[in-house]
Structure 1
Amino acid sequence: MSQLDVLPATSPIDFDFTSFDRPSRPDAITRSHGHTVLSSGITDETFLSTSPTNCPRFSSDPLNELDDAEIDVIDPSLPPLLRGHPDIHLRSGVIKASRLAAQSEHNAEKAFFVADLGQVYRQHQRWKRFLPGIEPFYAVKCNPDPFVLRLLAALGAGFDCASSGEISQVLQIGGVDPSKIIFANPCKATSFIRNAAKSGVDMMTFDNGDELYKIARVHPKARLVIRILTDDSKSLCRLGLKFGAPLVTVPGLLRKAKELGLNVVGVSFHVGSGCYDSNAFSDAIMRARSAFDMGKEAGYDFTVLDVGGGFEDGNFETNASVLSSAIDRYFPVRESIRIIAEPGRFYVSKAFRLAANIIARRAPMGDCSDQRSDVDSSQPTVMYYINDGVYGAFNCILFDHQVVHPYVLSMGGSFHLPSPVILRASSVWGPTCDSIDCVCPVTQLPAQLSVGDWLAFENMGAYTICAASQFNGFEISSVIYTDGGGSGSAEVRRALGRG
């Protein structure tokens, strides 16, 4: 692709939104879940104007047009919590960006997330329904969003923390007892262990002898959980490459802990982040049973079983069933055993969506909608550049093995795709000057897309914003929060003290 097609940009500043009408009910929103189909339930109007002066004035405060009844201020240090379906706020964000652009506001078209806290609440209810005997300790590293943490704390969840920073963030919420935290990093800095002791966090994992010496020196009253190695070969992220004591080493570690006068209270494992083989849980429970028996031989009476993470949204019920059956089989008598887990992506993956603006485009010269017979339809012929990438929210592609699928949020000044739509193999790239910043190597998008149009991405809540950087000087995308407007929205507000 050697030629650059300079298009007359369909700039956000050309939009006129005087006819935009938000739906009054969340169920008015419908969307086909293909890669390129717009929601048509909100508005079919085209809002392209001939002059940016037609746009109503819009201040730098993106909430200036919302009714007070639609906004809840949970904490002055936090953004407001809005009401309504997340699709409404995706489109509102596009409208607001366009009005800011009309005022020549710097970075007006900045990418943004919409977080549906109602989805987090519904996932918590789903967990309690299918795994009622297992306490969820949310894996903070997955997404340490302050609203997510505050909501889960209010719902009674515990927290899996991996650093002093995460422990401090959780305890600063208020109302979280240190007993609801497990310091689930088997290899910790000595200063972190000391800080955990000062904070009252006693439950922590280990998988090696050196860790025992450190703990004995600075936190001898800790309640230790030995992390064993399991088969994580069927997971997106194989944590066993870094953590976990093979069963053959467990007796020696327990003897050393006894010699040092340390209190080992249980066993933990992790089948890997994003486990897609339910049988991995059954195998891990069998190994945990062996470790419990080894503990008895070493003089310990274990009371904690930590079944770790790896819970996926798509196969959660299957995983829950297999896990529950395995627990029943290998731990038929467990009245004195506290069973906990460390779910992360299960809670937040589907709760966050991202809207990104097309800031540039490279294509062959000529009509972008032409369908030539000599073009390989499987190879991208158009390159779209958006204002977030793998150094930002899409780091999940590099570090979490995710594959993302864009769909069109707005095109040509409309939230409704014209008919017919010609799809073309395209690639989507991030904004940095690094060639690895590729969001989608190949995806099908409308050939009519132009600079200024918006793409959206679902399932953007897990291992995304938490690992974003400001490489090349690009800002981290901001977050708009909503209660979801449907099932669980009232419960979210009540849990956060605004019901």
Structure 2
Amino acid sequence: MENKLPCNRKYRLIPNSYVPVMLRPRKRQSDQLRPLNYRTMEVVVVEEGVKKQDIVADILNERIRRRLDESFYVLDLDDVLEKINQWKRCMPRVGLFYAVKCNSSAAILRVVAAAGCGFDVASKSEMQKALSTGVPSSRLVYSNTCKAASHLVHARRHALRLTVFDSEDELRKLHRLFPGAQVMVRLRYGDPAAAIPMSGRFGVDTATARRLLGVAWQLGLEVVGVAFHVGCGSSDPAAYVQAVAESRKVFDMRGEVGKPMRVLDIGGGFPGVLSKVAMSFPEFCAPINKALDEHFPPESGVEIMAEPGQYLVTTAQSLFTSVIGVKSEADGQEQDTYILSDGLYGACRDIATFHLQPTIRVHPAHPPASEPKKVKVTLCGPTCDSLDKLVSDFSMPEAHTGDWLELRNMGAYTNELASGFNGFPQPKTVVLVSKGHLSLIPT
């Protein structure tokens, strides 16, 4: 196909350096599978020797020239691929099943599928998105412990058999609607220091697991293993180590009824933007691998899987939001306030919810005469809600109306939690991918 931009979006190109192309949806494989939505993204193929920051600067200059001020994402697919490769190096025995809920960008899903990984899905919609990449249902795990009947029927229709449970009611629902499912009992075990604990609502203790396994076997369900999730934004690998040891106890219960289990799902929570981890990723993984080798050695034949989300995509995506207005102390504010084109109800919910300190770079609309001074400001979103405030007393270089702010590490949950409140549009995405990786996504 001819490489060109859509008529309503033009860039000032660097000659022979990078080529923007449009993503096209793949051919439908089933009337019940909607193709992935590629309408809200553009892809820039980065030639060898071209700096990505130069491409971003060119895109920003064009928006400034045309007085465009709507926020947009820049997604670096090479970063996602590096995370996948790092995972395979650091967790060689653990299959990667990417958590779709973290960022369901069509480009990310396609790259995950092309890299031979699977998907963690929690709803009919997420099933459709994952299956539309062309992966077989055997590379999906339905990780919702309480499934709507219609979603469960959809899973059965597409032979998505692997799932989890943590209640007797769920077992009886599975027996009634999907008796051929392969089920894992979800254990309650968490990292108390995790940013989002999961143990309050999900999972059961070991004693309850014993009772539920008995019910599952009596119903004739195929019990294949154990699952746990220590919480989003885990900061301590010891939580995984202890959960692996606890899972071994549940596996040993099989001897009581002679029903062997063969799958261990160690969940998500691996370091991303929500984690406060002082160690490197290889250091974080080392004690987990040691525990897996101790309790589930390779000769045990147990398949080990995990459901990382933010680990994979946090650093891959930046948000570019414009300063649409400034309210100063002279206007009666306690401190200067920058009103941004995105906020709490858009891509920045995590910043306010978890009191994160964003990493920001200012891109001035006009070159400053001198180095901008550091100021303490309040950052607010564009809506008419007074709660639409991201941070206060935030130290950053001084900015002015019309300038752009680059917020880094915005790949996790930003797309998914945006609501469109007050009619403000969700950011579109510019995807950067090196020429050598272009074959991993459809064009």
TM-score under structure 2 normalisation? 0.88
Q: Secondary structure at the match of 1:192?
A: helix
Give 1:365 shift: 3.2
Within the candidate set 41, 54, 59, 1:93 is matched to 59
Greater Cα shift, 318-327 or 131-140: 318-327
Show CA shifts across 1:416-468 (max 9, x none).
x6544321211111111112211122211234x21111111000000111110
Within the candidate set 293, 297, 303, 1:338 is matched to 303
Show CA shifts across 1:252-294 (max 9, x none).
0011001111011000100101100111111110111111112
Maintained 8 Å contact 2:233/2:270: yes
Match of 2:385 in 1: 434
The structure showing larger relative contact order (alpha-carbon pairs under 8 Å, at least 6 residues apart) is 1
Match of 1:150 in 2: 110
Note closer, same or farther for the CA distance 1:385–1:74 as it changes in structure 2 (3 Å cut).
Answer: closer
Match of 1:464 in 2: 414
Q: Secondary structure at the match of 1:235?
A: coil
Match of 2:19 in 1: 70
Distance 2:9 2:158 in 1: 38
In the alignment, does 2:70 pair up with 1:110?
yes
Distance 1:467 1:350 in 2: 17
Match of 1:239 in 2: 198
Distance 1:67 1:167 in 2: 41
Q: Select the structure of larger CA radius of gyration.
A: 1
In the alignment, does 2:116 pair up with 1:171?
no
Maintained 8 Å contact 1:308/1:341: yes
One-letter amino acid of the structure 2 residue matched with residue 492 of structure 1? H
Match of 1:394 in 2: 348
Note closer, same or farther for the CA distance 1:331–1:356 as it changes in structure 2 (3 Å cut).
Answer: same
Distance 1:491 1:207 in 2: 44
Distance 1:392 1:337 in 2: 42
User: What is the correspondence of 1:391-430 to structure 2 with a 5 Å cutoff?
Assistant: 391-399=345-353, 401=354, 403-414=356-367, 418-430=369-381
Match of 1:202 in 2: 161
User: What is the correspondence of 1:24-43 to structure 2 with a 5 Å cutoff?
Assistant: none
Greater Cα shift, 294-303 or 214-223: 294-303
Match of 2:95 in 1: 135
Within the candidate set 304, 308, 311, 2:270 is matched to 311
Note closer, same or farther for the CA distance 1:280–1:256 as it changes in structure 2 (3 Å cut).
Answer: same
Note closer, same or farther for the CA distance 1:67–1:167 as it changes in structure 2 (3 Å cut).
Answer: farther
TM-score under structure 1 normalisation? 0.78
Note closer, same or farther for the CA distance 1:80–1:433 as it changes in structure 2 (3 Å cut).
Answer: closer
Note closer, same or farther for the CA distance 1:157–1:297 as it changes in structure 2 (3 Å cut).
Answer: same
**Structure 1, unaligned runs of 5 or more:** 1-57, 102-107, 367-378, 484-488
The Cα RMSD (Å) is 2.2
Distance 1:467 1:322 in 2: 33
What is the aligned-residue identity percentage?
Answer: 32
Distance 1:59 1:254 in 2: 59
Note closer, same or farther for the CA distance 1:220–1:59 as it changes in structure 2 (3 Å cut).
Answer: closer
Match of 1:24 in 2: none
One-letter amino acid of the structure 2 residue matched with residue 88 of structure 1? D
Note closer, same or farther for the CA distance 1:309–1:492 as it changes in structure 2 (3 Å cut).
Answer: same
Distance 1:464 1:205 in 2: 26
User: What is the correspondence of 1:318-333 to structure 2 with a 5 Å cutoff?
Assistant: 318-332=283-297
Match of 1:270 in 2: 229
Within the candidate set 81, 95, 120, 2:43 is matched to 81
Q: Secondary structure at the match of 2:385?
A: coil
Question: How many residue pairs were aligned?
Answer: 413
Note closer, same or farther for the CA distance 1:462–1:200 as it changes in structure 2 (3 Å cut).
Answer: same
Maintained 8 Å contact 2:224/2:263: yes
